[in-house]
Amino acid sequence: MKFYSTRDKNNAVTYKEAIFRGLAPDGGLYMPEEMSDLTGLIDSFSPDTPFNEIAAEITHALLSEELDRVASERVCSRAFNFTPELKNIDENISVLELFHGPSCAFKDFGASFLASSMEEFLKTDSRKATILTATSGDTGSAVARAFYKKNNIDVVILYPSGRVSPLQEKQLTTLGENIRALEVKGSFDDCQRMVKEAFMDRELSDRLNLTSANSISLGRLIPQSFYYIWAWAQAKGQRDNLWFCVPSGNFGNLTAGIMAHGWGMKNKGFIAATNINDVVPEYLKKGEFNPRASILTLSNAMDVGNPSNFERMLEIFEESHEKMSEVIKEEVITDSETKDTIKLLLDGRNYESDPHTAVGYLASQRFLNKAAAGTVEAGKAPRIITLSTAHPGKFTEVFEEATGSRPELPESLKEVMKLRKVSTLVGNTLEDMKGVIG
Ligand SMILES: *Cc1c(COP(=O)(O)O)cnc(C)c1O
């Protein structure tokens, strides 16, 4: 299997090239060259098939030219020492919890697989690399944890001093070993600019073999398909009219689901759930794509006004609005509805949810209501698996505002709060950064 850029079909690259490049040189995003038919493999999984086995089988099926069976198993077993969990909430709605990884958010699946694949290739080639990344708080911790103690890889994370939450700061600065946190006297924009300048500095970039791990990486996209297929296997016997509801921002998560669908996972469709940053729902409804500045909401990991993965979605559906809107339905949820839903889930179901998960749950209910009323074409008695993207303990303030109580913190987050912060304070220029890493 080769991978091409969404902006240039003529220069396909290997998986290895694609993950060390991150973005294609023409600014496009990497996509599989053809839609593989994995129907037989996907059908062979049962509710007893372990997540790791599904991950390794799919990896091998897609990347066999670069990762043989043993290597595929090694990459997956090193990536995933955590699994998804599926919980029934209502008669027709189950929650697919994706927050049992090290940073308690679904991004752990993508970041861990990327880190593990990079480690595999670097070891084989006896090379070293440096991951350089800027974070405004949340996404950096998944990357830091994923690359922690990986051989042949150093990580440098820039974050804006005083502008990330105490928990986020602890998650970035307490690991040590191969993870270095640079606390920048400036804004997140400064951090991003410094990273960009470092990549453009040929001498520095070559010497440290700089590479990125950002969310559009193909190495983070592919593994996000694994948990859909695992959940599909879990739902055996209840798959007649099965939908996945995906709380979305940059639409990587949903894109991975659509890819799994294309490989032969025969779910009926998807529900794209967003907060009021509703550029993609608007496209699905009207066929017009109008990217705009993002608006701050309570489900802030989904505050995206120009979702990068839309380019990949267009590619999959061959630029056809009709085809896309047949498979993907849309729901848009406001902040006050999000808070009400967090409370309702706690009071009525005894279920603690983070704001992103609440958006997905309410969208699922709306969809079921519309299906019952016949205002959306969904067939008879749809079942929905809605994705839970973060542990409620990562969003204690919103949870408390909505319910008056505090959510249970997962053990790993409690532990991290007790550790000592170690960061290097730097100014906001490339020269300042080179002074400490170069
Ligand atoms: C990143 C993130 C999302 C959005 O995922 P996309 O792949 O960008 O659509 C949703 N919820 C949480 C908690 C996230 O961190």
* CA distances from residue 412 to 67, 231, 368 in whole angstroms, order as listed: 32, 25, 36
Q: Give the span between the Cα atoms of 367 and 371, in whole angstroms.
A: 6
Q: What is the pLDDT of residue 177?
A: 96
Average pLDDT of the residues in 110-137: 96
pLDDT reading at 214 higher than 90? no
Element (H, E) at 329: strand 328-332
108 confidence band (pLDDT: 50, 70, 90): very high
Q: What is the pLDDT of residue 286?
A: 97
Q: Give the span between the Cα atoms of 223 and 230, in whole angstroms.
A: 11
Backbone angles phi, psi at 160, to 5 degrees: -75, 125
Portion of the chain with pLDDT greater than 70, in percent: 100
Q: Which atom of ligand 1 is least distant from the CA of 250? A: 8
139 confidence band (pLDDT: 50, 70, 90): confident
Backbone angles phi, psi at 87, to 5 degrees: -125, 135
Mean of the per-residue pLDDT values of the chain? 95
Which residues line the pocket of ligand 1, CB cutoff 6 A?
105, 107, 138, 247-253, 301-302, 356, 389-390
pLDDT reading at 138 higher than 80? no
Sorted by where each begins, the domain ranges of the chain are 83-102+220-409
Q: What is the pLDDT of residue 293?
A: 92
pLDDT digits (tens, 9 = 90+) for 289-320: 999 999 999 999 999 999 999 999 999 999 99
Helices (H), 235-309: 252-263, 279-286
148 confidence band (pLDDT: 50, 70, 90): very high
Taking CA atoms only, the protein residue closest to ligand 1 atom 15 is 301
Our mutation pick for probing the ligand 1 site, out of 29, 96, 106, 141, counting the most ligand atoms within 8 A of Cβ, is 106
Q: Which of 384, 257, 272, 267 is nearest to 316 (CA)?
A: 257
Average pLDDT of the residues in 46-75: 98
341, 362 Cβ separation under 8 angstroms: yes
Q: What is the pLDDT of residue 215?
A: 87
Q: What is the pLDDT of residue 165?
A: 86
Q: Give the span between the Cα atoms of 52 and 227, in whole angstroms.
A: 10
DSSP-derived pairing of the beta strands 210-211 and 129-134: parallel
Give CA angle at 81 (77, 86), nearest 5°.
115
Conformation bin of residue 286: beta by default, left when phi > 0, alpha when psi is -120 to 50: alpha
Q: Give the span between the Cα atoms of 166 and 117, in whole angstroms.
A: 31
User: How far does the centroid of ligand 1 lie from the alpha carbon of residue 105, in Å?
Assistant: 8
365/34: higher pLDDT: 365
Q: Which of 297, 307, 283 is nearest to 358 (CA)?
A: 297
438 confidence band (pLDDT: 50, 70, 90): confident
Q: Which of 37, 30, 35 is nearest to 3 (CA)?
A: 30
Q: Which atom of ligand 1 is least distant from the CA of 139? A: 15
pLDDT reading at 96 higher than 90? yes
Which tokens hold the place of 154? 């150093």
| Topology of the domain comprising 83-102+220-409 | Rossmann fold (3.40.50)
